[in-house]
Structure 1
Amino acid sequence: MQKTKILAVAPYEGMADILTDIAQSRDDIALTVQTGDLFTGRDIAMQLAHKNYDVIISRGGTAELIQSAVELPVIDISISVYDILLSIKLAESYNGKFVIAGFPGITANAHLLCDLLQYDVDIITFKDSADAVNRLKKAKENGCTLVLCDVTGARAAKDIGLNYNLVTSGRESIENAVAEAVKLVHSSNYVHKQKDLFQSLLTEDDREFLIYSPAGTLWFSSIAIDEMNTSLMNFVQTYIKSFLKVPNQTVSHQIRDNVYTLYNRHLIYEDQKYTAITICKSPALTAEDDPGFQIYNIDNTSSNDFADAYNGTGKAGKIAQIVEEYAKSHLPVLILGENGTGKGKAASLIYKQSNYKHAPFYSIDCSLIKERKWHSLLNNENSPLNEVDSTVFFEKADALSLEQIGDLFQYIDQTKLCTRMRLIVSLSTNNSNQPAFATIRTFMENHLSCLTMNLPPLRERIDDFSGITALYLHRFNVSLGKQIIGFDVEAMEKMLSYNWPNNLDQLQHVLKELVTITKTPYISCDTVEAILKQEPDYGRVFDDSVKFDGTLDEINYQIILQVLHEEHDNKEKTARRLGISRSTLWRILKNNN
């Protein structure tokens, strides 16, 4: 015989004991008993309602709150006229004035009884917990010293120093509620059989299913209670607000040795919008903490640093516009730039602004991924490269061997990757003389007709420099608890004159050190010099194109031409970087011309 599965939420321990005793005497019910009053009881019911119960039993105000929060039928354990009469008879031997107080479940029958027996007893009906305190305070002021009440009234009476007797539901009332619950479930037996069959069908599927109510309460789960993985449910909870608003999203997350992918859709039932989530599990290709392969979703990608560094006017504004336009396209993107220019963050920002943002973003660091993992990536059926509508980012692709590059090109062509998902590739122009760089760039631009984005080095963005540092300083002030206002004039000139070979990445870690050790409102020139001396190429203002096979004057002239080029023929900035006057600069240029 199929047992009726009942969740009982008892407002007080005595009721819980009676319910447990009743369950032991019946073989037609499977009863789970929890103790909690009002909102605590409601929260218990909300947490457990999805665990395949047929009906819920509770009492009074707690039952009302549960009924408004869950979809399951709720049976209210009544307080009979006999239960109230028993409490009154016990109170009659009390030397003092008493009142009857509680929610309507108590007071309705109390009014009936007192009218019938012509008892002169004040009866107080509560709206909520706060109302209970206020009304009992007034009763106390009017000479009341004892309250016959429910659990809410007992708590309020205790808080204000009143004696109280709890009006309990007798065993007969509780047995009647259990019998009513069983009868209710049996009356809809056909529907419950259907539910159980569908439940069995779903639980035997390789996938898991969750359904959330319009309010975000878990309404159904195919995950068995003993398999309720905390990490997985925490991951679901991270995205539930987004899932409730926007359908047809896909997010992925690796937990230990498995990757869990969530798909959501909306179901309309009786004009109410429910959210269904399908969970698919597949073996992970790499360890959870493998830096060579990372899975991101719309809410946990990091692109704020890039937005800080490339928002504004001039070159910064143009790059931001390019990102916005490229994000609208489905074409592959090739991102070029020196080390540290923010190529990874640019890829992340393109993803966040694109139509692909409701599916995962897979980041593959080609400089870190091992040969065996690379083979799995291109050949394993669980590879993220086999997905649809996701974004895959091959970072530092020029670190691949020519053989690996050939395998990747073949995979892209044979599987039509660029028609299934968004492809983004980054190359470091520090390696532009390497065969891998030229091979990948040619394939991307000529074969795939990709969009190409060039990120300028920091030394070519002098106009943006003060704005970038101001944004980074603010961020470090917040994270480090400092109040640095900015740089002394000479300190900023020192920062501007440095070559920044590792660009934005290097600027960030230098600024973090400066903010950490500075104890004054402004960062001094001495502090900047002390930190920059630890950096590579300190004092260098020219690149490897400068030849040293001429006279000193000729070498100086080459250096000036290079810096002048970097400063876009701005002689004032060139002179400042070189530490010479404008008249000296003009004289050297005139003599060589």
Structure 2
Amino acid sequence: MKKISILVVAPYPEFGELAVDIAKAYPQINVYVAPGIYQNAIEYTQIYPSKKFDCIISRSFTADLLRETSITPVIDVELSFFDAYRTIQIASSIGQKFAVLSTPPVIEVYRQLAELLHIDLNLYTFHNVSQVEGLLKKIKRSGYNYVIAGLVAEEIAPRVDIKTIRIASSRDSIEAAVKKSLEIYNYIERAGNTSDIFLSFIDYSKDGVIIYNDSEKMVYVNIAIRNENMFAPARKLEQYIQYLREENEMRIIKRIDQFYWEIDGRKIEHEDTFFYAFHLRKLYSYAQSKKEAFIRMEDAEDIYKGFSNIIWNGIYREYLGSSVQAAIDSYTPVLITGEVGTGKTELTQYIYCHSQHKKAPLITIDCKELTRKSWNTLINNDKNPFHDVGYSILFDDISCLHPSLQRELNDYIEGTNMARRHRLYATSSVDLAHLVKNNQFSLPLYRSFCGFTINLKPLALTPELILPLAAEILEWISKKFSKDCGGFEDEAKVLLQEFPWPLNIIQLVAVLQQLVINSDGFIITTELTKQVLDKETPKEYVPSTMFDLTKPLAEIEQDVIMYVLRESNMNHSLAAKRLGIGRSTLWRKITNQQ
């Protein structure tokens, strides 16, 4: 009988001991125990070759992290009502106030149990390990001396002078995970025995499948690839074989000819030989994507060559300190706020390009352009990456999202566990907390995105950054236009530093580009700088409506309302006054949007 190998990543010693004891009742199982929690767990599992194990058992965030880094099935030891009830009984017997601190799935178990038992529990949720110490301090300040929590909080608690009651997994919970491992293994084995059926299914799939051997020779193509419309883009996959040799897997969206294609690649070892398999799926035509102005898809390879890496890889990043790296390392949604032109979208791209999610594309939703019709098109499209797993999704200018769509977006995020399936980002040129306070933005949606917040200051408040940033951007623009510009005259520097920069970095880049293009020498002169800045001097702003008058009257009305709302910083009272209607009438028109 073939032995099934299971790696148990144990957050504490008793967890591993229970797993070993349980395995004695299953002669077909070999259990290996590795200690570890969160990031440390990955280091321990790398001691063993991943192909050695049929399944990995762990729990909570540790299990989530292992799924990101391992191709082996990972089984989560779920918290049972009995496990939670036992900790409540222990805490109650001490006779002192206690709180509960854990991840969202665990807190949900305690919440349901509290409703069932008709008891009040003080529940605190963290989405990232970096939040734990701050929450423990908050719990301590609230008068609690005990907290029911996991291992991360248990390690930090002594620094906060608070005692912990460990959330431990019972024997039944661990055994349930072992049984689930056996079920998954048996399912995979049955699938292997019916490989001919699966091969037939792949051969007739409408998506393309192509496999190369280690000599980069094509050894399999399915019928879809043989179709001449797909064979041409498939031939361009050979360039990614070297990448798979080093990274083992990839996921990108590329424009090839007139279509956007989703490309999944994986390095496969079979009988000591490596193969490189690609799955090719047609998403959108280029013409269609230009019409759908609210969405765009990019991969890290393309973004990394662009502007975002220039401004965020130098002095600007140093100014923000450790917050950018913390956002890169985090798995929680990121909210980036700041005035127009402060580089919010570019910072999002930089974080994405340096995160663990960079292997899958970044999808940007322009909330200014997102309408009811386009939202329905997005959600009802079975090829929409929203429904998939592992992407990075940016909601750009989320403060401009229509109120009715704010509710629907939050319902979708919560109802589909979107924040666990994808890495979410949002940007806003308006203070969302202020909008929430004034009932002008959805509080639940704000909560969905405010797990990690970065606020970017305008250049007018950071004059010390202007010249160093200008020097970095000047070097990049000079290379871009094959010009030899390396600095500014002293008076030109003064002009740059004293300019108000109402459009911030975007305007700085535009000015520097004009200077480089029009400069005749290595040093940019004061005279040229003055000429360019004079043209940029803020003048009285005359807004351009540019409404699409071919739309139905109801849609034009909605466009006008949203335009005035944005001009009024989403202040409903001010917008209603400008429109000459009552606040309640404005609210009714907003909520009655198609």
Q: TM-score, normalised by structure 2?
A: 0.52
Instruction: Specify whether residues 354 and 420 from structure 1 end up closer, same or farther in structure 2 by C-alpha distance, changes over 3 A only.
Output: same
Shift of 1:515: 1.0
The aligned counterpart of 1:217 is 217
Task: Report the secondary structure of 1:376's partner residue.
Answer: helix
1:296 aligned to which of 289, 295, 298: 298
1:100-115 superposed matches below 5 A: none
- Aligned-partner residue type, residue 509 of structure 1: A
Task: Report the secondary structure of 1:425's partner residue.
Answer: strand
Kindly provide the CA deviation profile for residues 201-248 of structure 1, in whole angstroms up to 9, marking residues without a partner as x.
532123321111223332321245442536622653453332232223
Whole-Å Cα distance in 2 between the matches of residues 437 and 343 of structure 1? 24
Whole-Å Cα distance in 2 between the matches of residues 250 and 471 of structure 1? 32
* Alpha-carbon contact 1:364-1:392 (below 8 Å) kept: yes
- Aligned-partner residue type, residue 213 of structure 2: S
Q: Which moved more, 1:256-265 or 1:266-275?
A: 256-265
The aligned counterpart of 2:58 is none
Over alpha carbons, which structure has the higher Rg? Answer: 1
Whole-Å Cα distance in 2 between the matches of residues 354 and 539 of structure 1? 42
- Aligned-partner residue type, residue 394 of structure 1: F
Determine if the alignment matches structure 1 residue 240 to structure 2 residue 244. no
The aligned counterpart of 2:518 is 517
Whole-Å Cα distance in 2 between the matches of residues 432 and 530 of structure 1? 40
Determine if the alignment matches structure 1 residue 346 to structure 2 residue 347. yes
Task: Report the secondary structure of 2:300's partner residue.
Answer: coil
Structure 2: give runs of 5+ residues left out of the alignment: 1-193, 542-594
Shift of 1:519: 1.0
Task: Report the secondary structure of 1:499's partner residue.
Answer: coil
* Alpha-carbon contact 2:368-2:400 (below 8 Å) kept: yes
The aligned counterpart of 1:272 is 273
* Alpha-carbon contact 1:498-1:538 (below 8 Å) kept: no
- Aligned-partner residue type, residue 250 of structure 1: R
Shift of 1:429: 3.1
Whole-Å Cα distance in 2 between the matches of residues 257 and 228 of structure 1? 11
- Aligned-partner residue type, residue 309 of structure 1: I
* Alpha-carbon contact 2:317-2:324 (below 8 Å) kept: no
Whole-Å Cα distance in 2 between the matches of residues 437 and 378 of structure 1? 30
- Aligned-partner residue type, residue 306 of structure 1: S
Instruction: Specify whether residues 387 and 196 from structure 1 end up closer, same or farther in structure 2 by C-alpha distance, changes over 3 A only.
Output: closer
Whole-Å Cα distance in 1 between the matches of residues 303 and 216 of structure 2? 24
* Alpha-carbon contact 1:283-1:382 (below 8 Å) kept: no
Q: Percent identity?
A: 22
Instruction: Specify whether residues 501 and 380 from structure 1 end up closer, same or farther in structure 2 by C-alpha distance, changes over 3 A only.
Output: same
The aligned counterpart of 1:305 is 307
- Aligned-partner residue type, residue 202 of structure 1: I
- Aligned-partner residue type, residue 213 of structure 1: N
Instruction: Specify whether residues 442 and 320 from structure 1 end up closer, same or farther in structure 2 by C-alpha distance, changes over 3 A only.
Output: farther
* Alpha-carbon contact 1:336-1:428 (below 8 Å) kept: yes
Determine if the alignment matches structure 1 residue 484 to structure 2 residue 485. yes
Whole-Å Cα distance in 1 between the matches of residues 226 and 536 of structure 2? 56
- Aligned-partner residue type, residue 484 of structure 2: Q
Q: Which moved more, 1:459-468 or 1:347-356?
A: 459-468
- Aligned-partner residue type, residue 214 of structure 1: D
Determine if the alignment matches structure 1 residue 394 to structure 2 residue 367. no
1:72-91 superposed matches below 5 A: none
- Aligned-partner residue type, residue 297 of structure 1: D
Shift of 1:422: 0.8
Instruction: Specify whether residues 258 and 510 from structure 1 end up closer, same or farther in structure 2 by C-alpha distance, changes over 3 A only.
Output: closer
Kindly provide the CA deviation profile for residues 390-427 of structure 1, in whole angstroms up to 9, marking residues without a partner as x.
11101111222111212111211111211111110000
- Aligned-partner residue type, residue 535 of structure 1: E
* Alpha-carbon contact 2:255-2:286 (below 8 Å) kept: no
* Alpha-carbon contact 2:334-2:451 (below 8 Å) kept: yes
Q: Which moved more, 1:417-426 or 1:429-438?
A: 429-438
* Alpha-carbon contact 1:331-1:451 (below 8 Å) kept: yes
The aligned counterpart of 1:502 is 503
Instruction: Specify whether residues 256 and 480 from structure 1 end up closer, same or farther in structure 2 by C-alpha distance, changes over 3 A only.
Output: closer
The aligned counterpart of 1:148 is none
Number of paired residues?
346
Instruction: Specify whether residues 508 and 437 from structure 1 end up closer, same or farther in structure 2 by C-alpha distance, changes over 3 A only.
Output: farther
Whole-Å Cα distance in 2 between the matches of residues 469 and 411 of structure 1? 42
Q: Which moved more, 1:436-445 or 1:226-235?
A: 436-445
1:123-272 superposed matches below 5 A: 201-222=201-222, 223-227=224-228, 229=230, 232-233=233-234, 236-253=237-254, 260-272=261-273
Instruction: Specify whether residues 448 and 343 from structure 1 end up closer, same or farther in structure 2 by C-alpha distance, changes over 3 A only.
Output: closer
Whole-Å Cα distance in 1 between the matches of residues 440 and 312 of structure 2? 29
Shift of 1:536: 4.3
- Aligned-partner residue type, residue 219 of structure 1: V
Q: Which moved more, 1:391-400 or 1:432-441?
A: 432-441
The aligned counterpart of 1:21 is none
* Alpha-carbon contact 1:303-1:349 (below 8 Å) kept: no
Whole-Å Cα distance in 2 between the matches of residues 212 and 272 of structure 1? 11
1:399-548 superposed matches below 5 A: 399-429=400-430, 439-440=440-441, 442-443=443-444, 446-447=447-448, 449-537=450-538
* Alpha-carbon contact 1:377-1:384 (below 8 Å) kept: no
Shift of 1:522: 1.8
* Alpha-carbon contact 1:311-1:320 (below 8 Å) kept: no
Shift of 1:362: 0.6
Whole-Å Cα distance in 1 between the matches of residues 305 and 451 of structure 2? 22
Q: TM-score, normalised by structure 1?
A: 0.53
* Alpha-carbon contact 2:262-2:281 (below 8 Å) kept: yes
- Aligned-partner residue type, residue 349 of structure 1: Y
Whole-Å Cα distance in 2 between the matches of residues 284 and 413 of structure 1? 31
Task: Report the secondary structure of 1:287's partner residue.
Answer: helix
- Aligned-partner residue type, residue 490 of structure 1: E
Shift of 1:492: 0.8
* Alpha-carbon contact 2:334-2:450 (below 8 Å) kept: no
Instruction: Specify whether residues 356 and 527 from structure 1 end up closer, same or farther in structure 2 by C-alpha distance, changes over 3 A only.
Output: same
Shift of 1:482: 1.7
1:57-96 superposed matches below 5 A: none
Shift of 1:285: 11
Shift of 1:361: 1.2
- Aligned-partner residue type, residue 221 of structure 2: S
* Alpha-carbon contact 2:299-2:361 (below 8 Å) kept: yes
The aligned counterpart of 1:29 is none
The aligned counterpart of 1:59 is none
Instruction: Specify whether residues 480 and 263 from structure 1 end up closer, same or farther in structure 2 by C-alpha distance, changes over 3 A only.
Output: closer
The aligned counterpart of 2:332 is 331
Instruction: Specify whether residues 293 and 238 from structure 1 end up closer, same or farther in structure 2 by C-alpha distance, changes over 3 A only.
Output: farther
Whole-Å Cα distance in 1 between the matches of residues 538 and 201 of structure 2? 67
* Alpha-carbon contact 1:427-1:437 (below 8 Å) kept: no
* Alpha-carbon contact 1:285-1:373 (below 8 Å) kept: no
Instruction: Specify whether residues 439 and 377 from structure 1 end up closer, same or farther in structure 2 by C-alpha distance, changes over 3 A only.
Output: farther
* Alpha-carbon contact 1:334-1:444 (below 8 Å) kept: no
Whole-Å Cα distance in 1 between the matches of residues 354 and 430 of structure 2? 26
* Alpha-carbon contact 1:308-1:468 (below 8 Å) kept: no
